[in-house]
Amino acid sequence: MTKRNDEKLTKPPNGDAAIARAATLKPIREIGERLGVPWEAMAPYGHTKAKIDLDYIASLADRPDGKLILVTGLTPTPPGEGKTTTTVGLTDALSAAGENVAACLREPSLGPCFGMKGGAAGGGHAQVVPMDDLNLHFTGDMHAIGMAHNLLAAMIDNHINWRNELNLDPRRVSWRRVMDMNERALRDIVIGLGTGNGMPREDGFDITVASEIMAILCLATDMADLQARLARIVVAETRDRQPVTAADLEADGAMAVLLKDAIRPNLVQTLENTPVFVHGGPFANIAHGCNSVIATRAALKLADYVVTEAGFGADLGAEKFFDIKCRMSGLKPAAAVIVATARALKVHGGNAVQHLEEEDVEAVRKGCDNLRRHIRNIRSYGVPAIVAINRFPSDTDAELDAIAEEMRTEGVETSLCTHFADGGAGAADLARTVTEVAARDEADFKPIYPDDMELLDKIRTVAQKIYGAADVDAGHAIRARLKNLEKAGYGHFPVCIAKTQYSFTTDPNLRGAPSGHTIPVREVRLSAGAGFIVVICGEIMTMPGLPRRPAAADIRMHADGHIEGLF
Amino acid sequence: MTKRNDEKLTKPPNGDAAIARAATLKPIREIGERLGVPWEAMAPYGHTKAKIDLDYIASLADRPDGKLILVTGLTPTPPGEGKTTTTVGLTDALSAAGENVAACLREPSLGPCFGMKGGAAGGGHAQVVPMDDLNLHFTGDMHAIGMAHNLLAAMIDNHINWRNELNLDPRRVSWRRVMDMNERALRDIVIGLGTGNGMPREDGFDITVASEIMAILCLATDMADLQARLARIVVAETRDRQPVTAADLEADGAMAVLLKDAIRPNLVQTLENTPVFVHGGPFANIAHGCNSVIATRAALKLADYVVTEAGFGADLGAEKFFDIKCRMSGLKPAAAVIVATARALKVHGGNAVQHLEEEDVEAVRKGCDNLRRHIRNIRSYGVPAIVAINRFPSDTDAELDAIAEEMRTEGVETSLCTHFADGGAGAADLARTVTEVAARDEADFKPIYPDDMELLDKIRTVAQKIYGAADVDAGHAIRARLKNLEKAGYGHFPVCIAKTQYSFTTDPNLRGAPSGHTIPVREVRLSAGAGFIVVICGEIMTMPGLPRRPAAADIRMHADGHIEGLF
């Protein structure tokens, strides 16, 4: 062990980690007070994190809302586009320009930090801090969600074990268990073995962020709404195929109590001491991939500008932000920033990933088809779009000029950003564009489909209008399931489509802007508590595994308290 | 649901909960400052909990230690004796007498709060607050321990899944998984099913407090010692029957990082605003059942009197406190308070539990044999014993006089306590006795066996000297295992005996002070990180189940934020 550690000490420190460690954090009390939050309404977690009381947030109801800016992206590519860094950079730039601004981000999951290296919220000079805490237990929200989830699971098997008065069918329990860990070996398990340990049945663990409770926490408007949503969760069917809910098992009250602190938004800061709410982090495939409604609403009462982020590319992330989060909560975005890079455009234009460092203006121009589709999609929601080009050192002037020219023909404003290297100063132009667009007050947000459309038509609408597909392919069993859900009273729910984030199609290798394809629906799941219908169109992984050499093997604590290898 | 909740609202509030809610808590900053801890050295968790920085604690090394008072009990009986309330009451009484005092208690486990009602730390007017938080996630220590434990488990199966370069035998993995939940269905499971999900094998979950990591956290002296202990954990054997450690899997660094906050002691307060460290809570059977060494040591540097508690009766709890915790850490107790009740003595004297309300002086006298054995045991460690009689309303003067008389013949000081009803004022006499005994400076602590005694002789020594047994019964396989452990370099470890807490024998129905019996050893387990050998002498449950109607079904949050049904 000594040898191993000595070897590690000679390694140069990681760039992001070194920058984060060099940051001067302000006491969280000051960050909150800058937004006008009194100290009594903050529950500190250490000196640089705090939770904000819900009663205080409720007391702000009569205040006007600030302007909500969504940061989204083109279709993601292997090198990454920098959506989170752009969110942080834009927030810092607005702050530097004298605006009262806050960002709203998702909480990172702990488990994956021990798999592939690179937990984090942002990077370079556009980071949220304290980074170690964000990547570890933070304020415990993830653990609370896991406990609430697993309490419900325990009460299901306990009910079956005793007298099963609800006549619950052990073969039809859909509520699995969760752990915030990359745990391949727990994906498919058999539980209840041995004498006196209940009824043996197949089960499995998902990673905690995939829990419906995470989606519920992020969509709930207050504690009462949270408990009501928890009560509605459907966990199993009876032998007569009737749904069994968390309320039937009388689990909802205890689950709500377990979440009493997790429901309060967390306040932290950027490297430049701008306030950031980091709260909730549902999956962006089987869930809607946005931070909590409570945090976003609180931020809008406290700040004039709120910059938030949605998962994956705009076809999945922004679509769900608009059609699920904004629809349910009444949020009205003022503008959306689409983050793109020359490298990503090259990939969408047919360039191989290994040649990204070489100039290829033609590929960049061709790749703009992908960006163009996302811009038009955003506009179809009545939301003005802005393109942020996140500049990389290898980008050439010819490439950047080509993007600007392509975007001019689309009539969209673009800003070149260097926040990764320069912090907020690198996003000053983007901040100017955002405030100008927002000041025009052009946004007239409406979801892409109405609540009362049939479920299959909702899926088709998203597939055609957003993905550019010709149609959806839903077999008899899927159609019957959708009809049954409508009969059971869930027809007004929005749909939450789970498909690959790497293409407008269901084939991750089809980049660019393919159209005329078919979206096959493989499976439909009810998230009755979250309030949406999950439509699965491809392979969805809800429990990651560790790689051959997990990042955990290189993580350690130095004697001076600094953590090596975490991000 | 509405109906159910309305019914609940009509129930009268629980006594302990009503008292806790009516308490006026001081800001934790004031509680810490009373002990001289500067605000910079406290990491607040909300306004009434804080963690204390390890660097600050290390800076106190040169200060003299306060006096350490252990609170333990006679052999537990169904009605309960009130060890925790006595610890809290004595602490408040010492504080009221003008002493600089702090208590050191264990952290409650969250899972069981949802099973049988009655989480809590203390009761009546002798409670630690904030009670809701103590019974819920508190400062997240339990979750951090669970994550560290399960990360190691994930790395074991991940190692087997990839190339198994350590040649780890999947049939000989002793490291199970944990969850802080009463989870009958997870006791015995099969994992790794399905394609691509690793190697199928038998496994199971224990409750988090049963994790060796909990014992390690409680015995570690600092962060470096913590990581060194984690590295030594033996998790499995190779095909060649060689031990595989957490260090072999390179898991120790990441585990230590996960525990970086959990290792810092938590500071809270009693209802009377006296400082209390609540930190760590290992099982008292397969582990040593005491709060953390770090908290106890910190408290001794900060206070003139430190009152702490050990699990179960003195034969198990005090024995392990002395022979494991004090032996390893060098702590020197000044006195031990043995808590007894007239009701418990009646039970030990042969009275049936259902007749406890009726006077029975003879049973009380007879039951004093049990108490007498514990007194003599305590004295055999060179520690002065004091008896605290925790008075109940049904106790008669004749019964109390009989106890006093029996104890006079034993030459032990007794105090009558009413702290449950009266708070610290009800333990004023006990506080006076404790300070008098401590002032005499009679304690000359030494463990009951030396480090270099053979393991089987250590077991025999505890059985004979503490349990009053004639001998131990250890079969050939057990003896061979003990010899192997000695050969492998673990012979200097103390033994941690896991047996029923309800009797000096291994039969829970044999109350009083039986002697001449045999202690059968069923199994021996190595806790290489904690640094002791677990000797199992009876059925040990490491994962509880939920009852037919779990307490969770009656837990809910009121609109005003108060929690019903949790304790």
**Span B461-504, pLDDT tens digits:** 999 999 999 999 999 999 999 999 999 999 999 999 999 999 99
Phi first, then psi: give them for residue A224, nearest 5 degrees. -65, -40
List, for residues B390-438, the tens digit of each pLDDT value. Answer: 999 999 999 999 999 999 999 999 999 999 999 999 999 999 999 999 9
Q: Is A79 annotated as a binding residue?
A: yes
pLDDT value, residue A171:
96
Interface probe for B, chosen from A52, A178, A557 (most Cβ of B below 10 Å), is A557
Write out chain A residues lying below 8 Å of B137, CB-based: 140, 143-144, 147, 258, 261
Tokens 């690198």 locate to: A426
Tokens 């209940």 locate to: A198
Residue (of B342, B435, B349, B347) closest to B397 by Cα position: B342
Q: Is pLDDT of B357 > 90? A: no
**Alpha-carbon gap, residue B420 to B124, rounded angstroms:** 5
List, for residues B495-513, the tens digit of each pLDDT value. Answer: 999 999 999 999 999 999 9
Residue (of A359, A419, A415) closest to A386 by Cα position: A415
Cβ contacts of residue B31 below 8 Å, gap of 6+?
A: B50, B267, B268, B269, B273, B275
Task: Among A49-58, B74-83, B240-249, name the one with the lowest average pLDDT.
Answer: B74-83
* B260–A191 CB contact, under 8 Å: no
Q: How many Cβ atoms are within 10 Å of B330's Cβ, its own excluded? A: 11
What number of residues does chain B have?
567
Alpha helices, DSSP H, located in B440-550:
455-461, 476-485
Using left for φ > 0, alpha for ψ between -120 and 50, and beta otherwise, residue B198 falls in left
* A154–B185 CB contact, under 8 Å: yes
Angle subtended at Cα A208 by Cα A202 and Cα A212, rounded to the nearest 5 degrees: 80
Q: Is A81 annotated as a binding residue?
A: yes
* A197–B182 CB contact, under 8 Å: no
Residue A77, both tokens: 């590519």
Write out chain A residues lying below 8 Å of B198, CB-based: 184-185, 545
Question: Of A110, A197, A224, which is closest to B185 when you measure between CB atoms?
Answer: A197
Interface probe for A, chosen from B57, B136, B195, B201 (most Cβ of A below 10 Å), is B136
Write out chain B residues lying below 8 Å of A247, CB-based: 1
Contact yes or no for B349/B403 (Cβ under 8 A): no
Phi first, then psi: give them for residue B305, nearest 5 degrees. -130, 135
Write out chain A residues lying below 8 Å of B134, CB-based: none
* B557–A260 CB contact, under 8 Å: yes
Residue (of A172, A145, A146, A142) closest to A160 by Cα position: A172
* A154–B183 CB contact, under 8 Å: yes
Q: Is pLDDT of B2 > 70? A: no
pLDDT value, residue A320:
98
Interface probe for A, chosen from B5, B157, B557 (most Cβ of A below 10 Å), is B557
Q: Report the helix count and the strand count for chain B, using DSSP H and E.
A: 20, 26
**Alpha-carbon gap, residue A523 to A528, rounded angstroms:** 16
**Alpha-carbon gap, residue A170 to A198, rounded angstroms:** 11
> B180 to chain A: nearest residue by CA?
A147
Residue B537: how many CA atoms within 13 Å on its side-chain side?
30
SS3 B178: strand
**Alpha-carbon gap, residue B437 to B430, rounded angstroms:** 10
Nearest chain A Cα distance for residue B266, angstroms: 12
**Exposed e or buried b per residue across B360-399, where buried means at least 16 C-beta atoms within 10 angstroms of its C-beta:** bbebbbbbbbbbbbbbbbbeebbbbbbbbbbbbeebeeeb
Question: Of B151, B196, B550, which is closest to A552 when you measure between CB atoms?
Answer: B151
Write out chain A residues lying below 8 Å of B140, CB-based: 137, 140, 143
Phi first, then psi: give them for residue B32, nearest 5 degrees. -65, -45
CA of B414: how far to CAs of A3, A404, A528, B142, B341, in Å? Answer: 57, 88, 61, 37, 12
Residue B62: how many CA atoms within 13 Å on its side-chain side?
1
pLDDT value, residue A559:
82
Nearest chain B Cα distance for residue A46, angstroms: 4
Write out chain A residues lying below 8 Å of B261, CB-based: 136-137
Tokens 């055609």 locate to: A464
> A550 to chain B: nearest residue by CA?
B155
> A143 to chain B: nearest residue by CA?
B143
Containing B397, the helix (H) or strand (E) segment is helix B397-410
> In this structure, is the dihedral angle defined by the CA atoms of residues A474, A476, A478 and A481, taken in order, positive or negative?
positive
ipTM: 0.95
Write out chain A residues lying below 8 Å of B553, CB-based: 155, 249-251, 253-254
Kindly give the pairing relationship between strand B126-129 and strand B266-270: antiparallel
Amino acid in position A416: L
Using left for φ > 0, alpha for ψ between -120 and 50, and beta otherwise, residue A539 falls in beta
**Alpha-carbon gap, residue A397 to A416, rounded angstroms:** 11
Kindly give the pairing relationship between strand B333-340 and strand B201-203: unpaired
Residue (of A426, A567, A458, A456) closest to A119 by Cα position: A567
Phi first, then psi: give them for residue A186, nearest 5 degrees. -100, 5
**Alpha-carbon gap, residue A125 to A270, rounded angstroms:** 9
pLDDT value, residue A356:
84
Tell me which DSSP letter residue A323 carries.
I
Instruction: Please give the average per-residue pLDDT across B545-552, as a whole number.
Output: 95
Q: Is A82 annotated as a binding residue?
A: yes
Tokens 């600094």 locate to: A562
SS3 A285: coil
**Alpha-carbon gap, residue A39 to B44, rounded angstroms:** 13
SS3 B188: coil
* B147–A254 CB contact, under 8 Å: no
**Alpha-carbon gap, residue A228 to B496, rounded angstroms:** 47
Residue A73: how many CA atoms within 13 Å on its side-chain side?
25
List, for residues B133-174, the tens digit of each pLDDT value. Answer: 999 999 999 999 999 999 999 999 999 999 999 999 999 999
Amino acid in position A276: V
Beta bridge partners of B105: B278
CB pairs under 8 A between A and B: 252
Nearest chain B Cα distance for residue A479, angstroms: 29
Write out chain B residues lying below 8 Å of A245, CB-based: none
* B556–A158 CB contact, under 8 Å: no
pLDDT value, residue B49:
98
**Exposed e or buried b per residue across B336-349, where buried means at least 16 C-beta atoms within 10 angstroms of its C-beta:** bbbbbbbbbbbbbb
Amino acid in position B131: M
Phi first, then psi: give them for residue A148, nearest 5 degrees. -60, -40
Q: Is B352 exposed, middle or buried (0-12, 13-18, 19+ CB in 10 A)?
A: exposed
Amino acid in position A25: L
Question: Of B197, B545, B555, which is closest to A253 when you measure between CB atoms?
Answer: B555
pLDDT value, residue A300:
98
Q: How confident is the model at residue B65 (pLDDT cuts 50, 70, 90)?
A: very high
Contact yes or no for B91/B422 (Cβ under 8 A): no
Q: What's the whole-model pTM score?
A: 0.96
* A188–B193 CB contact, under 8 Å: yes
Question: Of B196, B224, B555, which is closest to A254 when you measure between CB atoms?
Answer: B555
Write out chain B residues lying below 8 Å of A253, CB-based: 5, 552-557, 564-565
Question: Of B4, B154, B224, which is closest to A546 when you measure between CB atoms?
Answer: B154
List, for residues B285-340, the tens digit of each pLDDT value. Answer: 899 999 999 999 999 999 999 999 998 999 999 999 999 999 999 999 999 999 99
Where are the extended beta strands (E) located within A253-350? Answer: 266-270, 275-278, 305-309, 333-340
SS3 A542: coil
pLDDT value, residue A21:
85
pLDDT value, residue A556:
93
Q: How confident is the model at residue B352 (pLDDT cuts 50, 70, 90)?
A: confident
Instruction: Please give the average per-residue pLDDT across B115-133, as a whole number.
Output: 86
CA of A201: how far to CAs of A164, A479, B343, in Å? Answer: 15, 29, 45
Contact yes or no for A265/A148 (Cβ under 8 A): no
Nearest chain A Cα distance for residue B140, angstroms: 6
SS3 B331: coil
pLDDT value, residue A118:
62
pLDDT digits (tens), chain A, 567 positions = 333 333 333 333 458 888 888 889 999 999 999 999 999 999 999 999 999 999 999 999 999 999 999 999 999 998 788 999 999 999 999 999 999 999 999 999 988 889 986 666 889 999 999 999 999 999 999 999 999 999 999 999 999 999 999 999 999 999 999 999 999 999 999 999 999 999 999 999 999 999 999 999 999 999 999 999 999 999 999 999 999 999 999 999 999 999 999 999 999 999 999 999 999 999 988 999 999 999 999 999 999 999 999 989 999 999 999 999 999 999 999 999 999 999 999 999 998 877 888 999 999 999 999 999 999 999 999 999 999 999 999 999 999 999 999 999 999 999 999 999 999 999 999 999 999 999 999 999 999 999 999 999 999 999 999 999 999 999 999 999 999 999 999 999 999 999 999 999 999 999 999 999 999 999 999 999 999 999 999 888 999 999 999 999 999 998 888 898 887
Nearest chain A Cα distance for residue B99, angstroms: 30
Write out chain A residues lying below 8 Å of B182, CB-based: 154
**Alpha-carbon gap, residue B149 to A183, rounded angstroms:** 13
> In this structure, is the dihedral angle defined by the CA atoms of residues B266, B272, B274 and B280, taken in order, positive or negative?
negative
Residue (of B407, B412, B453, B413) closest to B429 by Cα position: B413
